[in-house]
Amino acid sequence: MYISDDQFLIGYADDHSIYSSFKPGDVSSEFESIRGLSSTLENVKLWMQFNRLKMNDEKSEFIVFGSNRQLPKCNTDVLSIGDTPVRRTHSVKLLGVYLDETLNLKHHISMKARASALVMFNLKKIRKYLDKSTCLKIANAMIFSHMDYCNGLFINLPASTLHPLQRIQITRLKLFSADQNMIVPPQH
């Protein structure tokens, strides 16, 4: 949804984001952008109150996206919604995807690898009670759902970034294959 020439709103159900841009290192551009965001957030909060809705100020957060060279030029660490301070964060979760400041997806991949590893850990504990077919179905449903969600974002990512997901796949193969002595291809 269009808000102004330098701001727009994207939302789904109760998850909304307001985007604005500024030139890194240009203090006045950054100040105007942050002031505009604060004003827009205050207007959204007033609209919600008028319509008997409540904005959860404590769950509100903001992030600045940029390159490793641009981010140190940004001075704002806090903006406000009325009297409530909103602290800058290094990562946000938007519709199930963790976005970090440099958009390198390392945090997202780390979180998905962690969730997959937890599923594998729990499956390993009950593996002896399941036949191979059932175990593979559970593993595919519960592990690959984490790994495949928004995997189109992984295109052109460096192998080092994708390594945690590859490690999960190899561990899954070793854990649930019939041949426990299988040869696994080398990791690059």
Q: Above 90 in pLDDT, residue 96?
A: no
Alpha helices in 7-105 (DSSP H): 27-50
pLDDT in tens, 58-76: 888 889 999 999 999 998 8
> What is the C-alpha to C-alpha distance for residues 143 and 139, in angstroms, rounded to an integer?
5
pLDDT digits (tens, 9 = 90+) for 114-168: 998 898 889 888 888 988 888 888 888 888 888 888 889 999 999 999 999 888 8
CB-based contact 106:161 (threshold 8 Å):
yes
> Which pLDDT score, from 0 to 100, does residue 101 have?
94
Alpha-carbon dihedral of residues 69, 75, 76, 77, nearest 10 degrees? 80
Q: Where are the domains of the chain?
A: 7-91, 104-178
Percent of the chain with pLDDT over 90: 26
Report if pTM > 0.85: no
pLDDT of 2:
47
